[in-house]
A = this chain, B = another copy of it.
Amino acid sequence: MNAPIRLLVWNEYLHEVEEPAIEADYPDGIHGAIADGLRELLPEASVRTATLGEPEHGLTEAALADTDVLFWWGHRAHEDVSDAIVDRVCEQVLAGMGLVVLHSGHFSRVFTRLMGTTCSLRWRNEGERELVWTVAPAHPIAVGVPNPLVLDAHETYGEFFDIPAPDELVFISGFEGGEVFRSGVTFQRGRGRVFYFSPGDQKYPIYHRPDIRRVLANAAEWARPTGPRNLPVVTNPRRGSHA
């Protein structure tokens, strides 16, 4: 567990290129800001980035083999991620790679496939206040995170969020309009740990904030693999082979 953690931040990288206001907030892309935060709080980590437009979306076999935890930000282009790459990422998660899915990534094909549900939700985007409350104060992902974490303006997500019952419920957000949302949830899938964290809409540049960066750094540490990467497979051992 003492080797430096290897992190890969993936972003579709479209809003920042096409919308000047978002480019102004994120001149190095959303992935760039997330990566900066991870480098800041985890100085020993290896932090790389990848985007949709690169060959194989930057998610080559070699890149994933070299990744302990993959961060995923996507919104408009979920359908542009190729089948082969969705297969590859999901297989790596089941084999043990950690995965942190951010904001509108709830509708990414990687996340919906790992969940098996629609992952649909209620939303509005009127820039209202979001309070992120910790409901599992001793969870490693919540350590050092203010309670509540206050976002003065953000997109509103609300229940019903169609996910399987999470293994652990870490954060619940309350919104100015009265909505609530399970905004920080964990899932084990195969040998891999998955954390979904809802804050992070492209219009509100929260990935520069220390408190949000603390959540992401904690999630990176929490999701890292505990052992070698192996996809669970069917076996047919003879009687007594275990004894």
- Looking at A29-37, A40-48, A69-77, A227-235, the stretch in contact with chain B turns out to be A227-235
Q: Which residues of B contact A179 (CB under 8 A)?
A: 131, 133, 174, 242
Instruction: Please tell me if the beta carbons of A188 and B138 are within 8 angstroms of each other in the complex.
Output: yes
By the criterion CB–CB under 8 Å, are B134 and A159 in contact? yes
Choose among B158, B165, B167, B239 the residue that contacts A133 (Cβ–Cβ < 8 A).
B158
CB distance from A165 to the nearest CB of B (A): 6
Are B174 and A239 in contact, CB atoms less than 8 angstroms apart? no
- Known contacts A120-B232, A160-B147, A232-B120: does B226 contact A188 (CB below 8 Å)? no
A135 touches B159 (CB 8 A): yes
Interface residues in A172-214 (C-beta closer than 8 Å to B)? 172-180, 182, 187-193
Judge whether A137 and B191 touch: CB under 8 Å.
yes
Tell me which residues across on chain B come within 8 A of A65, comparing CB atoms.
Answer: none
Interface size on A, residues (CB 8 A): 73
Across the interface, A129 reaches (CB within 8 A) one of B164, B178, B189, B234, namely B178
| Contact across chains for B165 and A232 when beta carbons are under 8 A apart | no
Could you say which of B116, B135, B242 contacts A115, with CB atoms under 8 Å apart?
B116
Residues A137 and B150 in contact in the complex (CB < 8 Å), given A118-B190, A189-B117: no
In angstroms, how far is the closest chain B Cβ from the Cβ of A69? 13
Answer whether residue A14 sits at the interface, using C-beta atoms and an 8 A cutoff: no
A168 located at the interface, meaning its Cβ lies under 8 Å from any Cβ of chain B in the complex: yes
A interface residues (Cβ-Cβ under 8 A, vs B) = 90, 94, 96, 113-118, 120-124, 126, 128-129, 131, 133-140, 143-144, 147-148, 150, 158-162, 164-165, 167-169, 172-180, 182, 187-193, 225-227, 231-240, 242-243
